[in-house]
């Protein structure tokens, strides 16, 4: 009997997981940790887990990216420069917002950006200004270099990070990190909301308060650890 009890104690917590993975339980996909990530769905406690899963599964990542509003073209794996390889990447062209230029991004970075734009950036813009962002300005993604004062490769070396410099609102107002981060006005409040939203979807977010090198942009990337500064 003791053996039976121990087997039951082990099986009971595992049973729901097995049932979900095998499709024996019918629950909404957004609450099923094994279901694909849908960028259009409001984020919940499972979103970060689903992002983590797609980081190691190109097909799953491609399926998630297809649910976004991003316009993009897949890129072949390549070595643009010696020592720097780009894999499982796309060329982002636009979405509901325009970009000042196309940029390359790994699929996980593109999915994180899509989540950030839809559920973070535009929410912050409506909350503070009552209107949407129509353009995102950036300094680029790919740069074959090391982290400053380090012998470790930057996430930029694999197009796995993006430097966001500013935004343009529907009424034409332009908001930049370099000019508007400091202070306590609505522009600064908006940028801090954007920074906080970025930390929910990207693994690494570095802003003007981090150091002088980031005074004019948000560095957002998909590094192996999490850091929000």
Residues 169-179: tens digit of each pLDDT: 999 999 999 99
Residues 6+ away with beta carbon under 8 Å from 213: 148
* pLDDT value at residue 49: 95
**Residues contacting 165, CB < 8 A, separation 6+:** 137, 138, 139, 176, 177, 178, 216, 217
- In angstroms, the CA 59 to CA 128 distance is 37
In terms of Cβ atoms closer than 10 Å to its own Cβ (0-12, 13-18, 19+), residue 175 is buried
pTM of the model: 0.87
Contact 75, 59 (CB under 8 A): no
- Angstrom distance (rounded) from CA 85 to CA 103: 15
Q: What is the DSSP string of 8-59?
A: HHHHHHHHHHHHHHHT-S---GGG-TTSPP-TTSPP-TTHHHHHHHHTT-HH
Indicate the pLDDT class of residue 23, thresholds 50, 70 and 90: low
Lowest mean pLDDT among 44-48, 69-73, 78-82, 187-191: 78-82
pLDDT at residue 4 is higher than 50: no
Domain range summary for the chain, segments of one domain joined by +: 1-29, 36-228
């Amino acid at each position: 009997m003791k053996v039976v009890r121990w087997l039951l104690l082990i099986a009971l917590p595992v049973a729901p997981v097995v049932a979900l993975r095998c499709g024996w339980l019918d629950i909404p996909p957004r609450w099923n940790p094994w279901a694909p990530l849908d960028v259009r769905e409001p984020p919940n406690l499972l979103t970060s887990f689903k992002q983590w899963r797609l980081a190691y599964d190109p097909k799953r990542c491609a399926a998630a990216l297809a649910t976004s509003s991003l316009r993009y073209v897949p890129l072949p794996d390549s070595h643009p420069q010696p020592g720097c390889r780009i894999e499982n990447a796309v060329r982002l062209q636009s979405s509901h917002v325009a970009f000042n230029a196309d940029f390359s991004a790994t699929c996980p970075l593109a999915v994180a950006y899509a989540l950030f734009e839809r559920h973070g950036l535009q929410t912050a813009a409506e909350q503070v200004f009552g209107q949407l962002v129509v353009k995102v300005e950036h300094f680029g993604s790919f740069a074959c270099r090391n982290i400053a004062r380090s012998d470790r490769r930057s996430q930029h070396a694999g197009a796995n990070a993006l430097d966001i410099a500013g935004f343009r609102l529907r009424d034409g107002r332009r908001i930049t990190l370099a000019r508007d981060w400091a202070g306590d006005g609505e522009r600064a409040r908006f940028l801090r909301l954007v920074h906080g939203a970025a930390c929910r979807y990207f693994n690494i977010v570095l802003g003007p308060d981090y150091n002088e090198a980031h005074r004019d942009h948000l560095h957002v990337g998909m590094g192996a650890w999490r850091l929000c500064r």
